[in-house]
Amino acid sequence: MLIFRKKFVQYIYLGVIISIFLIPISYIYASLSCSITTSAGCGSGTVILRMSGSTNAHAELPSQSTANYDNNVVCCTGVMGLSNSCSETNKVTIARLSGVTNAHTERNTEANANYTQNACLSSIYTGDEITLAYQALNCNSYDTTLFSMEKTPTNSMVGGPSAYNNKVCAKIISQSISFNLNHNSVGFGNLIPTAIRYATNDGLGSSSEVESYNISVNTNAPAGYGVYVSGDSPKKGSTIITPIGGVNTVPSAGNNAFGIRAVATGGNGGVVNPYDGAGFAYDANSTTPTTIATAPTGNGVTTNYSIRTVATIDSFLEAGSYSTNLTYFVTANF
């Protein structure tokens, strides 16, 4: 006599642990701030120009150390990676000098043959956006006033920000990104062959589609970003719930299937195929990530991605507790 025994899953738990990686390294926006102080007083700041006085002054490069220029240096702070090196790839010339010291200045738009020395404001980070302007009366729309020029465009003495009406203005927008999620573990509860289940953050699961967790992304990266996920489908030992794969599919009860889909709101980010349809998909594993969403530009507006997670099983899947770790990461394109 043959005896057939069906084995039903008693409890399957999907624990989704989200690890966040930001590539490249990013820096939170901070406003550039510059003031006139002493060489010693600048401390951890960056000296971008030295002057012989607060008004009617000659200029010298920050690499020089003439004693009577020590009390009037243009000292800048507030931005990580700030530099005065003209060798950096990411730089602007703030003024052209007639010599390394005891110099007259001219705008960086000029090209007089005897103004061979450049004073620079630069960043070691190529993603920082540095902007310089020469404005009359004020530096509205810029972070700070570097110094002022007695006349323009050339053969000028210099002074502090309030000395003259011809202002030298600067602004730096630092590369920045934020990437957050509202839950780091979700579960399906009890999976049975006759029903589809959706993961919830309380671990009990739901019979109707709900948001499992939410990911938010915001960046000022000029070329936008990508959001990716890696990790295996839920498993117990070597037994795995079959991932749906790379085609958006509406799963049906009674089949082994695991998948996710995402819905984007806000900003200019969008979910990509196959995760943007009415069904679900999953074609990543622990070594191979898949793209969930992208944004063409970083417009500084947050996009929220509502992630929905589904699982179904057949009546032959081994009973027990199933789990996996899903790792989400974002790459910003600076």
pLDDT digit string (tens) for 256-266?
A: 999 999 999 99
Which two tokens mark 308? 């929905």
- Name the band, by pLDDT with cuts 50, 70 and 90, for residue 26: very low
Answer yes or no: are the C-beta atoms of 143 and 33 closer than 8 Å: yes
Residue 320 — left, alpha, or beta (φ > 0 → left; ψ -120 to 50 → alpha)?
A: left
pLDDT average, residue stretch 163-180? 91
Q: What is the mean pLDDT of residues 94-106?
A: 98
Q: Which of 59, 70, 54 is nearest to 94 (CA)?
A: 59
Decide: residue 3, CB within 10 A, 0-12 exposed, 13-18 middle, 19+ buried: exposed
- What was the pLDDT predicted at 19? 37
CA distance 12 to 192: 9
Q: So what's the pLDDT on residue 331?
A: 87
Average pLDDT over residues 176-185: 86
Each residue's pLDDT tens digit, 267-325: 999 999 999 999 999 999 999 999 999 999 988 899 999 999 999 999 888 888 888 98
Residue 69, SS3 per DSSP: helix
Q: Is the pLDDT of residue 12 over 60?
A: no
Query: What pLDDT does residue 107 have?
Result: 97
| Cα(228)–Cα(77) distance, integer angstroms | 35
pLDDT, tens digit, 9 for 90 and up, residues 123-136: 998 878 899 999 99
Q: Annotate 214-279 with DSSP letters as a single string.
A: EEEEEE--TT-EEEEEE-PPPEETTEEPPB-EEEEE---TTS-EEEEEEEEESSS-EE-TTTTSSS
Closest CA to 132 of 48, 196, 194: 48
Residue 10: band (very low, low, confident or very high) from pLDDT cuts 50, 70, 90:
very low
How far is 44 from 62, CA to CA, in rounded Å?
14
What does the pLDDT read at residue 7? Answer: 38
What pLDDT, on a 0 to 100 scale, did the predictor assign at position 29?
52
240: pLDDT strictly greater than 90: yes
Residue 156 predicted with pLDDT over 70: yes
Query: What pLDDT score was predicted for residue 310?
Result: 96
